[in-house]
Amino acid sequence: MHVKTFFGPHEKVLWYVPNLIGYLRVALVLYAFVNALQRPKLCLSAYVIAFVCDELDGRAARTFRQCSAFGAVLDMATDRVSTAGLMVVLAAMLPTAAPLLAILLSLDVGAHWLRTAAAQSQGKHHKQASTVASNGLLKLYYRSRIFMGYCCVSAEVTYLALYAMQWKDAQGPRYQAGIVGDMAGQAVSWIFQQKRTGAFQAELGTSLAEGMFMLALPGWALKQVINLLQGLDAAVVLGASHKMRQTEKQADPSEFPGGLCLCMSDNILW
């Protein structure tokens, strides 16, 4: 006889262990944002713990066989809201970078929303939806957990390092219009110094955050390319799904009584 336990499949989905971890992530992220402009150490600590919990909730779901549609949505929504909130904080601290951050934020949220819609049209999880595009980078991203992890972690580390770099002074964050240019100059100086010495030189004045920023930057760039490919690929999937539905409707009109179709201007609404 199978006995239902808390650490196993049961009817109270909202109380699944991975979902409880998800609630903790939400609380930690909100706490981080509340302290973002006054207490950088608390902000970074809370955000990093929440980011680590992103890996733990997935492991818990698989270990305790507590995968659920709610958990999948909670996980992705928390991911996107966390990154979006961090980018908003950076936009407040770096006004000159705000337009770029707005574009990247729109790309991130838009691409993932399209990806989720495409997955739903196939009846799959957004990470399992098949790709119809021939792009090898996108296929590698979804087939290799290591590569996916590298891109996602690099993107988060890049933003976190950029945030930490604004707190060099005890007086508070550096709200300087030229900070982006200064940061680029420091990065170039660090790269060339690395080529000459082959070792990290503390006397350059390059902080740990700046070093982490430079190391994570390639993975961040890859993540932005992948976001764009995600959106384009999802558009192709949605277009193919719409065409298939139209074909099925013409083949068997009885499945669509009265010509019912959820569309507006010939665009299907999801």
pLDDT (tens digit, 9 = 90+) per residue, 101-136? 999 999 999 998 888 888 777 766 555 555 555 578
Cβ atoms of residues 58 and 127 within 8 Å: no
Mean pLDDT score, 173-177: 49
* Residues with Cβ within 8 Å of residue 182, at least 6 apart in sequence: 176
Segment among 144-148, 219-223, 245-249 with least mean pLDDT: 245-249
Looking at residue 77, its pLDDT comes to 92
Compute the mean pLDDT over every residue in the chain, rounded to the nearest whole number: 79
DSSP string, 180-233: HHHHHHHHHHHHHHHHHHSS--GGG---HHHHHHHHHHHHHHHHHHHHHHHHHH
User: CA-to-CA distance for 88 and 73, rounded, in angstroms?
Assistant: 22
pLDDT band at 168 (very low <50, low <70, confident <90, very high): low
Looking at residue 240, its pLDDT comes to 82
Looking at residue 179, its pLDDT comes to 45
pLDDT (tens digit, 9 = 90+) per residue, 58-91? 899 999 989 988 998 899 899 999 999 999 999 9
Mean pLDDT score, 177-194: 47
Segment among 5-9, 72-76, 184-188 with least mean pLDDT: 184-188
More confident residue, 4 or 204: 4
Share of the chain above pLDDT 70, in %: 72
Looking at residue 6, its pLDDT comes to 80
Share of the chain above pLDDT 90, in %: 44
Mean pLDDT score, 14-35: 95
Q: Is 79 among the residues known to form the active site?
A: yes
pLDDT (tens digit, 9 = 90+) per residue, 190-214? 444 444 443 333 333 347 888 999 9
Which of the following is catalytic: 57, 75, 79, 233? Answer: 79
Looking at residue 159, its pLDDT comes to 96
